[in-house]
């Protein structure tokens, strides 16, 4: 049995926007079963499920994860029966069990964490796994592997069983939810947003780099950068958490507060060598981007990349995203990407890397300008 449906997971409330986005990527897909944060689509007869999921994986900003959908299952036997019918004899599967989003990010009931229910379901599935169906050890998927997704849809509902091929460069976690260790002292939840962004984009930060953060108060993201050894300049008229203000890194890195609006900060107020521009300012993206462009313009030699949380008022604002990405590209970025991270609220994470930033990520020297190629994809790794 080849999957005739696809599943996509997104933020709760983004389902209609996701359908619009997917309609633009593959107009042949027909919307089918859906729940908050989970939308399925019927494939046209003859359409290739791997081609359709690869296109969504490469271009969708709102779909955090997608794959073939085999249908509902209420027990371990039903799950493995569906998988057996869908795979060749001798196939070895990577099992990933995860919950769809049930609340908007940050609105989860106190103490709730995703993954607890999934871990229990995974244990029961592994215990009941039949001898004739191959099962890889562990949950992290390797490129090329067949991944069996068991999606916990919600209380009293059957699971949804998915099957997909792990793509090269795709993050190895189930459901596009990047696991991040709890950091109880983090001054704000923006700490988790930034750490998630660093993993998503494989950002090659190094101790000793200099970053400016626009909209830095109270300091979650700055704290994450300081902990990685960066020298951080925060721009925000709001108060910074003392943990950030008093931070003294083992390598001597510190935080400098520019207690002013970003429009009042000039390039001369910042160090000459500026490696990263981070922004999480609650202003319209076109305004935030003006300052990012101004501060990133000159001197630019050291700039490695920009890491930007773009606030959107409503889902219709997503139509401006291609224009915002073009503006980021015009700042000298050789790779630009955007996604809605699992911890983003009404916002999208967009990042750009200069050729020097890309070379550092690849562990090589920067390409010569003549050989430079611009790659702009919305989502290459999620
Ligand atoms: C989402 S909060 C930032 C959270 C912060 N990044 C953290 O890690 O805790 C948005 C911030 O943007 C700041 N802000 C709004 N307008 C600004 C402006 N014109 N210049 C600088 N900061 C601004 C607000 O004061 C607020 O602290």
Whether residue 365 lies inside any domain: the answer is: yes
> Is there a domain that residue 183 lies in?
no
Q: CB within 6 Å of ligand 1 — which residues?
A: 187-188, 190, 214-221, 235-238, 261-262, 280-283
* Same domain, residue pair 138 and 196: no
Q: Which among 208, 135, 193 has a CA at the least distance from the CA of 339? A: 193
Pocket test for ligand 1, best of 212, 217, 255, 276 (most atoms within 8 A of CB): 217
Evaluate whether 179 touches 196 at the Cβ level (below 8 Å). no
pLDDT of residue 369: 44
Ligand 1, atom 11, lies closest to the CA of 215
Looking at the fold, whether 319 and 279 belong to one and the same domain comes out as yes
User: In terms of domains, do 232 and 151 share one?
Assistant: no
pLDDT per position as a tens digit, 137-181: 999 999 999 999 999 999 999 999 999 999 998 999 999 999 999
CA of residue 208 to ligand 1 center, whole Å: 24
State the chain's mean pLDDT as an integer: 93
Mean pLDDT of all residues in 280-297:
96
pTM to 2 decimal places: 0.93
* Per-residue confidence (pLDDT) for residue 374, from 0 to 100: 41
pLDDT at 299: 77
| pLDDT digits 0-9 by tens, 176-218 | 999 999 999 999 999 999 999 999 999 999 999 999 999 999 9
Query: Which one of 123, 154, 176 terminates a domain?
Result: 176
Mean pLDDT of 48-58: 94
- Asked if 5 and 56 touch (Cβ cutoff 8 Å), the reply is no
pLDDT interval class at 298 (50, 70, 90): confident
Q: For 104-128, what is the mean pLDDT? A: 94
Would you say residue 184 lies in a domain?
Answer: no
Q: How far is the CA of 213 from the centre of ligand 1 (A)?
A: 9
Number of domains present in the structure of the chain: 2
User: What residues form DSSP beta bridges with 277?
Assistant: 212, 306
Q: What is the mean pLDDT of residues 282-304?
A: 94
Q: Show the domain range for 318.
A: 190-376
Does one domain contain both 81 and 108? yes
Compute the average pLDDT of residues 269-279: 96
Helix (H), strand (E) at residue 50: helix 49-59
CATH code, domain carrying 307: 3.40.50.150
Q: What is the CATH number of the domain that holds 105?
A: 3.30.2130.30
| Nearest atom (ligand 1) to Cα of 217 | 27
Q: Mutate which of 236, 255, 258, 279 to test ligand 1's pocket (most atoms within 8 Å of Cβ)? A: 236
């Amino acid at each position: 049995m080849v999957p005739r449906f696809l599943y996509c997971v997104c933020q709760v409330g983004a389902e209609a926007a996701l359908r619009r986005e997917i309609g633009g990527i593959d107009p042949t897909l027909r919307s089918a079963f859906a729940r908050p944060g989970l939308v399925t689509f019927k494939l046209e007869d003859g359409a290739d499920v791997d081609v359709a999921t690869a296109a969504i994986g490469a271009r969708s900003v709102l779909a955090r994860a997608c794959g073939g959908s085999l249908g509902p299952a209420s027990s371990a036997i039903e799950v493995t029966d569906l998988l057996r019918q869908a795979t060749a004899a001798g196939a070895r599967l990577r099992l990933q069990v995860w919950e769809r989003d049930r609340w908007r990010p940050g609105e989860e009931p106190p103490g709730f964490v995703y993954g607890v229910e999934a871990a229990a379901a995974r244990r029961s599935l592994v215990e009941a796994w039949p001898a004739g169906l191959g099962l890889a050890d562990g949950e992290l998927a390797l490129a090329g592997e067949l991944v069996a997704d068991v999606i916990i849809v919600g209380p009293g509902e059957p699971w949804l069983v998915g099957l997909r091929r792990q793509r090269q460069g795709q993050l190895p976690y189930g459901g596009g939810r990047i696991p991040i260790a709890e950091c109880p002292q983090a001054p704000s939840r923006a700490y988790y947003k930034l750490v998630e962004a660093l993993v998503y984009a494989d950002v090659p930060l190094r101790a000793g780099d200099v970053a400016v953060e626009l909209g830095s108060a109270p300091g979650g993201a700055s704290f994450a950068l300081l902990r990685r050894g960066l020298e951080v300049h925060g721009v925000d008229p709001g108060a910074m958490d003392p943990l950030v203000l008093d931070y003294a890194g083992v390598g001597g890195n510190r935080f400098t507060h520019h207690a002013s609006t970003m429009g009042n900060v000039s390039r001369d107020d910042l160090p000459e060598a500026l490696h990263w521009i981070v922004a999480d300012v609650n202003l319209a993206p076109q305004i935030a981007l003006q300052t990012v462009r101004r501060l990133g313009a000159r001197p630019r030699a050291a700039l490695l990349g920009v890491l930007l949380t773009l606030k959107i008022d409503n889902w219709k604002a997503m139509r401006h995203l291609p224009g915002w990405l073009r503006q980021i590209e015009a700042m000298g970025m050789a790779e630009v990407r955007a996604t809605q991270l699992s911890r983003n609220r009404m916002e999208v994470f967009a990042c750009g890397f200069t050729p020097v930033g890309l070379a550092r990520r690849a562990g090589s020297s920067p390409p010569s300008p003549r050989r430079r190629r611009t790659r702009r994809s919305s989502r290459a790794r999620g």
